Amino acid sequence: MSVVPQQALALSNSVLAQNHARHLAGQLKSLEQEEFIQTAFLRILSRQPNEKEQHLSQNFLSQHSNLLSTHTELTPLLPADDGITAPADNPAQRTRENFIQVLFSHNDFVTIR
């Protein structure tokens, strides 16, 4: 079985998925980058990242954080009310939230086998 593009799109736009990504990123906030990646994979995909995934994840976190750091103000995509976790104002933490959101759209997470 595979994931259709609509599933990933629905998860990317899901208030529930965004809220949980922000919440999980907050729980893992104190971890160093390598441990953060490994823990996120374990919590979301129930497995460790392989060497290529680890490398790609580190690149994403570094490049995305640099990209977000160049903006003077980060736009909150969802309001912080009614139990919704507000997005981080810190570019490094916002990057981690976005990384977890990406893992929520991973084929291993959304595919029923």
How far is 89 from 4, CA to CA, in rounded Å? 32
Q: Report residue 5 as tokens.
A: 């593009």
Compute the C-alpha angle 46/89/26, nearest 5°.
30
pLDDT tens for each residue of 79-92:
556 677 778 888 99
Measuring CA to CA, which residue among 21, 5, 30, 22 is closest to residue 104?
A: 21
> Domain range holding 67?
5-110
Q: Mean of the pLDDT values across residues 43-60?
A: 96
pLDDT tens for each residue of 6-30:
766 777 777 888 899 999 999 999 9
| pLDDT at residue 1 greater than cutoff 50 | no
How many structural domains does the chain have? 1
